[in-house]
Structure 1
Amino acid sequence: MRSHSLPLMMGNHSDLKLDNATLALLNSVNTRITISVIYMIVTVINLVGNGLSMWLLIFHTSPKTPSIIFMINLTLTDMAVGVALPFQIAYQLQGYHWTLGPTMCSVLTLVFYTNMYCSILTMMAIGIVRYLGIILPMRYRDKVGTGKKKSIAIISCFLMWGLVLCVLHPLMTTDLTFYIPELKITTCFDMLKKEMLPSKAAWATFLFSMVFFLFLFPFCVTTFCYVRVILKLAKNSQKTTQKKRAIRLVIVVLLVFTLCFAPNNILLLTHSVLKLFYNRSLYMAYKLSLCLSCLNSCLDPFIYYFACKEFRQKLRKLMNLTSVTSVDSMKMKHKESFYSAHFDSSEREHSKER
């Protein structure tokens, strides 16, 4: 989730008593303005960067390899957040007062949650593709045909969405708005009714499932894949621009996980334990960590730049940074055959050279 805090689990409205941390956040004008400004900047960069990325990936990148399919999926989720963020900005500027009704609150909450976790799972899938292409190139090429790779990638995207929606199912069946008489505001997913789930055990299962299955496990898999890729590339004595670019790609991906996803999910887990079992909270810290998680949607285009050779070429040509002639293109394909053949559209050239 990118823009909503982990809610405080409350009872009915009559026995509502806000703790000091919650009151401090809801009454802090400076915090609301700061978060709103960050979201405004993210929205602009998100829509411009991902709009350009989507245009290049769909209409100017061919063939559609598994990596490209995963990138398109990632761009779709990022653009959904860019479209939804203005509603969150308005909510913040109005003092956490939601005026668009329960249905819209549920839809936007689901958008933010789904984006975050689909992004994590998609980046894991891209990491697995890179691992197979660099660490197990012969086995990956010989046992899985091009058409089958595309089919697996498309099915994987649907499975990711299905898994995330299954875990987040409680959010689709509950009124996520909550009226606070003390402040005369209606929050959207900043506080939830205890009866949303039947017991503490159910709450713990729901929250720990998000952290473990949708963050911790994918993070471990992605880290393993990219560390192995770095070690493999480091062993090659040939110092090339393509090798350096591939290593930079790994660094960018791990940086996104470390800066954008890890603080948010670690605080999610910590806050959940404190709130469920000790009636304490890290509400303010968790809310502020969401600003970092939003940055992911702005950094993804940089991942595409390092991951996809054809994306780089088209972007440079569009920005008049370089003109790629057919001869230059052939040279680039030859040079990048080892490092990016299984990353993008040069898979076919790699197969021929092997």
Structure 2
Amino acid sequence: MMTGNSSSTKLDNATLSMLQNVNSSSSSIVISVIYLLVTVINLVGNGLSMWLLLFRTSPKTPSIIFMINLTLTDMALGAALPFQITYQLQGYNWNLGPRMCSVLTLTFYTNMYCSVLTMMAISIDRYLGIVRPMLFRQTRESKFFAVFSCLLMWVLVLSVLYPLMTTDLTFHIPELGITTCFDVLKKDMLPSVSAWAAFLFSMVFVLFLFPFCVTTFCYINVIRKLSRDSKTVQKERAIRLASIVLLVFTLCFAPNNILLLAHSVLRLFYQKSLYMAYKLSLCFSCLNSCLDPFIYYFASKDFRQKLRAIMNLHSLSSADSMKMEQRESLYSTH
């Protein structure tokens, strides 16, 4: 995102030079390659995950419902990425109109923040199931509550991102003969600096930092509980799950949100830019859609067993398998 000059249709020389050279830069090439790889891995991995979660995993516990919600957002991103790749290969020239630009931008950010909130919901579910098993037990095990929570996530994310749905995010640059999509924004997209501050605060702090703190708290306490009470199998799996989730937050989500805030402040008040760094971080934020299936593997015993069956990884005898299931079920929230 580059914040243009108020309502002016002209850009400063630095911005023009940056956009003129961006398509031939090494960063732009790296971004396009990463998007292409993410698209393939996303659609294959999440397509398999969705099939397993919908048709091969039963019962549909709250954790499974949260995973279905997460997979849905990931697949939507996978379907949108080819449009982003085409846009970049055409020299950052968007020719599909303002509405499609808004859909693409909204897909990127709803994927990121719905993923953040869904991971938080999964961590809370595991925390309550392992650390506080009697707290809100009936509510936590309710499918209706899980579905309601997913709907609430979508409402919250779309409410915060509402300006992206109501604004023309395309910007025609006659000097370069191109029309950008969410790469140049006018300051008057929002009515005041305070409105910009509220928008950025909601994205960075409400949709990212707060869920990150809650998720970290939950997994730290889960690991502590399992370290005291469980055997090595449960403890190692919990540590792997926590490590993957925290990796997704720190690698995929944190750089993008930090750079979004820093870049916006620099453009609004100091006419400076972190444009390419932000674009690269947005690219890395999409990697979460490739890592999410690993979260399902360690978070759901049923998903894990079905995946093993499909990949013919059953090396245990039936008796050993039953023993393993009994050991896993002690602290599993399915």
TM class by shorter-chain length? Answer: over 0.9
The Cα of 1:24 is off from its aligned counterpart by 6.6
Structure-2 change in CA distance of 1:145 and 1:244 (3 Å)? closer
Alignment of 1:197-236 (within 5 A): 197-236=190-229
Counterpart CA distance in 1 for 2:314 and 2:131 is 32
Corresponding residue for 1:17? 12
Matched, 1:48 2:44: yes
**1:275 corresponding residue in structure 2:** 267
Q: Displacement, 1:7? A: 3.1
Task: Provide the C-alpha distance between the structure 2 equivalents of 1:268 and 1:339, rounded to a whole number of angstroms.
Answer: 39
Within the candidate set 116, 126, 145, 2:122 is matched to 126
The CA distance in 2 between the partners of 1:155 and 1:228, in whole Å, is: 26
Moved more, 166-175 or 10-19: 10-19
Is the partner of 2:93 in helix, strand or coil? Answer: coil
Equivalent position to 1:166, from 153, 159, 162:
159
Mapped to 2, the partners of 1:38 and 1:167 lie a distance apart of 28
Determine helix, strand or coil for the equivalent of 2:94. coil
* Superposition deviation, residue 339 in structure 1: 2.5
Does the CA contact (< 8 Å) of 2:61 and 2:143 recur in 1?
A: yes
Equivalenced residue count is 333
C-alpha change, 1:305 and 1:292, in structure 2 (3 Å) is same
Matched residue SS, 2:134: helix
Partner SS state of residue 187, structure 1: strand
The one-letter code sitting in structure 2 at the alignment partner of 1:337 is S
Q: Say if 1:136 and 1:75 are closer, same or farther in 2 by CA, change over 3 A.
A: same
The residue number in structure 1 matching 2:3 is 8
What is the CA RMSD across the aligned residues, in angstroms? Answer: 1.8
Gapped regions of structure 2 (runs ≥ 5): none
Secondary structure of the structure 2 residue equivalent to 1:178: strand
SS at match of 2:107: helix
What does 1:113-192 align with in structure 2 at a 5 Å threshold? Answer: 113-141=109-137, 143-144=138-139, 146=141, 149-192=142-185
* SS class of match (1:136): coil
Provide the TM-score with structure 2 as the length reference: 0.94
Task: Give per-residue Cα distances to partners, 1:87-144, cap 9 Å, x unaligned.
Answer: 0000011110001111110111111111110000000000100110111013343x43
Cα deviation code 1:25-47 (max 9, x no counterpart): 63534332221111000000000
Partner in structure 2 of residue 347 of structure 1: none
> Are 1:40 and 1:86, in contact at CA under 8 Å, matched by a contact in 2?
yes
Mapped contact 1:317–1:324 kept (Cα < 8 A): no
Structure 1-normalised TM-score? 0.89
Closer/same/farther in 2, CA of residues 28 and 55 from structure 1, 3 Å limit? same
Pick from 307, 315, 320 the counterpart of residue 299 of structure 2.
Answer: 307
In structure 1, what is the Cα distance between the partners aligned to 2:284 and 2:205?
20
Q: Please, which of 249, 254, 258 is the counterpart of residue 266 of structure 1?
A: 258
Gap change, CA 1:70 and 1:223, over 3 Å in 2? same
Q: Distance in 2 between matches of 1:324 and 1:59?
A: 25
Distance, in Å, in 2 between the alignment partners of 1:10 and 1:54 is 44
Query: CA, structure 1 residues 138+325, in 2 after alignment: closer, same or farther (shift >3 Å)?
Result: farther
Aligned-partner residue type, residue 247 of structure 1: I
* Structure 1: 5+ residue stretches without partners: 1-5, 345-354
Q: Which residue among 326, 330, 334 is the counterpart of 1:338?
A: 330
Deviations 1:318-346 (A, max 9, x none): 11111677655542331112321x2x1xx
Q: Distance in 1 between matches of 2:21 and 2:136?
A: 51
Q: Does 1:251 align with 2:246?
A: no
Provide the identity percentage.
Answer: 72
Moved more, 203-212 or 24-33: 24-33
